Amino acid sequence: MTDPNAAPAPKATQQAPGEASPPRRRATQFETPPPRRDPEDPSLPARTRRRLRRANRARARWGAPIETTSRRIHAWLNMLFVDHGALRLIHPNLHRVGRDAWRSAQPLPHHIDRLARQGLRTVITLRGGVIFGSLPLEREACARNDVTLERFVLRSRDLPKVEELLALEELVARVERPVLFHCKSGADRAGFMAALWLILAEGRSVAEARGQLSLRYGHLKIGPTGVLDLFMERAAEAERRGVPFRQWVRTEYDREAMRREFRSSGFGAFLVDRVLGRE
């Protein structure tokens, strides 16, 4: 039976008899970024220094390839129980986005294997911050399936800068398709990316694309993640005035004004941050 969520396999290009097939781009993987701040900086609050130390330990542990059986077991346990991957065994929050993309929660290795059989060529992780055992396992799954792994960090509780949106335009234009983009839960950052993908890659309207930020996918507008809805609302308003999205980003988008305008409800913040524990 055909998977209703399956994206079409990449179309074969027409070539003349005797003409060599064009070489497929070799799959690559991003490098684990170095820490941006020194955890021993005395000017930082003690809580921030502790958080940075934890992040650095995780970066050292999971930023390198898995080379022993014990580390592999540790990576799987970390992915399943610390990064909540056990929940994604039941609900990967996987959905089609337009013609050439999927969105999901953090995929497990077998999810990437399955999508690769359906033509997947690129995975884009939207996660930043602390690294979990999910990362080296995801890298391995991409490598064995000849799938490129890209990293483009988005925030679920803050707005992108103009230069980040311009960089995202470039990424959307150059990635090999079909593509999977994911965050941790597949609700907020993946939804924001899905909306941007439909606008930038498929020319959909903002009014249509903003539906990717929906309770159907687990997104909650009432919490701090609602700042992403405000972004789409302002872009849709500009579109109704006849200002295309790309032009709006370059000439009208005011990140700081929107950040001042946005207010999250106390209950929404409690639900998103404490109950759901969103990243």
Q: Is residue 41 part of a domain?
A: no
Return the pLDDT at 15. 38
CB within 8 Å of 260: residues ≥ 6 apart: none
* Contact by Cβ (8 Å): 140, 66: yes
How does pLDDT run across 106-154, given as a tens digit for each residue? 999 999 999 999 999 999 999 987 689 999 999 999 999 999 999 999 9
Q: Is residue 12 part of a domain?
A: no
Q: How many CB atoms lie within 10 A of CB 202?
A: 15
Q: Is residue 215 part of a domain?
A: yes
Identify the helix (H) or strand (E) that includes residue 96.
strand 95-97
- The range of the structural domain enclosing residue 71 comes to 46-275
Number of domains in the chain: 1
Alpha carbons 231 and 192: distance in angstroms, whole number:
10
Q: Say yes or no to pLDDT of 11 above 90.
A: no
- CATH code for position 204: 3.90.190.10
> In Å, how far are 38, 52, 57, 233, 279 from 46, measured between CA atoms?
12, 10, 17, 38, 21
Q: Is residue 70 part of a domain?
A: yes
Say what the pTM is: 0.84
Q: Is residue 187 part of a domain?
A: yes
Place of tokens 């988008």: 253
Q: Is residue 234 part of a domain?
A: yes
Q: Is residue 115 part of a domain?
A: yes
Place of tokens 């033509």: 119
Question: Could you give phi then psi for residue 103, rounded to 5 degrees?
Answer: -125, 150
Summary mean pLDDT of the chain: 87
Q: Is residue 152 part of a domain?
A: yes
